[in-house]
Amino acid sequence: MSPDAPRRTRDRRERKRGGPWIVPGPHTPAGVPAERSRRERFDALVLRAVAELETWWPAELAEVEFGIEEVPWVDDDWRPEEVPVATLVRRSSHHPARIVVYRLPIRTRVHRASRPTLESDLVYAALIHQVAELLDRTPAEIDKRPTRDPARLAGQPSG
């Protein structure tokens, strides 16, 4: 190397970890799970809760359709504290009963809760309330989890 040539040095500042071992992408090896989006994680929460309810109430929920939407359609005279987190659509001659869970109102309530609240608890409580309304029972009768905190289901909005 000549003395007049610029000297190469390694810039160790601003070096960050990166690459396929940190961030899943097209070069991630097969078999390594890619990170799921918020929507996919929410969908998985709802599917887990529905599967658990269907094991306890298989005959009653056999004809019920479950769905997930981003936000509910609300009337023009709605008030922000009354945005539903889930809705029950009763069975008609043309359609089976449907329970729809709304992702964004649940996420908003989790972030605005005065006490620590898990998103899975709010999803589960919303489903419990809608299934209870569908089957004309109380939420306590529907929820058959062995260890249940009654405060988790108390005061959940109807929708």
pLDDT in tens for each of the 159 residues of the chain?
A: 566 666 666 655 555 555 444 555 666 666 666 667 888 889 999 999 999 999 999 999 999 999 999 988 877 777 766 788 999 999 988 899 999 999 998 998 888 877 777 888 899 999 999 999 999 999 999 988 876 555 554 445 444
CA distance 32 to 122: 30
Measured CA distances, 133 to 30, 37, 86, 99, 118 (Å): 45, 31, 12, 10, 23
Specify the pTM. Answer: 0.69
Q: Which residues contact 66 (CB under 8 A, 6 or more apart)?
A: 46, 50, 98, 99, 100, 101
CATH topology (fold) of 38-72+81-153: Zincin-like (3.30.2010)
- Domain residue ranges of the chain, discontinuous segments joined by +: 38-72+81-153
Q: What is the dihedral of CA 81, 82, 85, 90, to 10 degrees?
A: 180
